[in-house]
Amino acid sequence: MKHLRALQIFGVITSIGAYFMLLMGAIVSATESGKGCGNTWPFCHGQLIPSSLPVETVIEYGHRIVSGLDGLLILVLAVWSWMTFKDDRRVRILGFLSLFFVVFQGILGALTVVFEGPFSKQFSLALHFGFSLISFASVILLTVYLFQIPGNKLDRPVLGRRQKRLAKWIWGLAAYTYVVVYTGALVRHAEATMGCGYSFPFCGSVYLPDLSSLAGIHLLHRYFAFVLFFLVVGLFIFIWRKYRDRKDLVQGGLLALILIGLQAASGALVVWTGGKLILELIHTTIISGFFAVLSYMCMQIGFPWRKKTHFSKQSLKMGYSK
């Protein structure tokens, strides 16, 4: 159907926009340009077009413009999807998550600008990135799902006991990844990127530094990341041995394994190069893609507590289900 094809293309465009919104936020944090527009929001220094445009102002205002434009795209995508598949629960959920979190992270970003302080500089800014990540993943999943609809892949079979264990592992891994992301965001906003100097993987001869210090904040993130790496390795081995017939999970697990390896390598390079901006952006890009892949696997395996298969009335009417 032509209108579905147009919706799919629009989803791809919106997904690209969501990535740029996430990337611009990372640039703002890495360059410490968060106060480039002063304490005013949504305009810059209270002006629609700032009279002065230093680099930090261009970066911060550019982030706001990109976020605003992609927020509008997400709104259109969500409403368009809802109208096309009115009775599809998955479309409703993914559309809601995409829209809710892009609005919520925008509000949180505004509060951190207007009310400056230690809390807004560290904890709330870390939350801001985390919510942006959920919105990004939701847009990606909604777009992927729109491409799955014509292929009769709307629903998954009821999970048995062993499959439910796998589902719990994947969902738990996604939740744990989200925690690791927050520890990484805290490292950035606490300015602890070089908390361990140029030492990697540990802080020189120190293995348990004071967690209130910059070294402690940085090393805490590394420990969380190490655990994540081995969990992903274990997940892929398990899927390869027990669920090789599920190509979607095998491919997702392999991609997750590759991305977590690249994430570890990029993290080491960030430290060894003294926190180069381009490497920090690559680090952010990889973890965003990794989280999106895990979210995709969660969607493919289904909820661990799911009891029955559900086909939407709208999809049945359009002849997309078997």
Question: In the chain, what is the straight-line distance between the N-terminal and C-terminal CA atoms, in Å?
Answer: 17
Sign of CA dihedral 238, 240, 241, 247: positive
CA 56 to chain centroid: 25
Per DSSP, helices labelled H in 190-246 are 214-242
Calculate ∠ Cα 21-134-303, nearest 5°.
150
* CB neighbours of residue 58 within 10 Å: 14
Residue of 32, 60, 116, 280 with catalytic role: 60
Identify whether the C-beta of residue 284 lies closer than 8 Å to the C-beta of residue 276. no
Identify whether the C-beta of residue 109 lies closer than 8 Å to the C-beta of residue 128. yes
Element holding 83 (H helix, E strand): helix 55-84
Q: At what angle do helices 55-84 and 2-30 cross, to 10 degrees?
A: 150
User: What per-residue confidence (pLDDT) applies to 315?
Assistant: 38
User: What per-residue confidence (pLDDT) applies to 318?
Assistant: 39
pLDDT along the chain (322 residues), means of 10: 86 94 86 80 83 88 91 95 90 92 83 61 65 91 90 51 84 94 84 86 74 84 94 95 90 96 94 89 93 94 64 39 37
Cα distance between residue 320 and residue 46, in whole Å: 51
Name the pTM for this structure: 0.84
Q: At what angle do helices 277-301 and 123-148 cross, to 10 degrees?
A: 50
Q: What is the dihedral of CA 36, 41, 42, 48, to 10 degrees?
A: -70
User: What per-residue confidence (pLDDT) applies to 160?
Assistant: 59
Domain segments of the chain as ranges: 1-155, 158-307
Could you confirm whether 280 is annotated as catalytic? no
How many Cα atoms are found within 13 Å in the side-chain-facing hemisphere of 257?
15
Cα distance between residue 262 and residue 290, in whole Å: 10
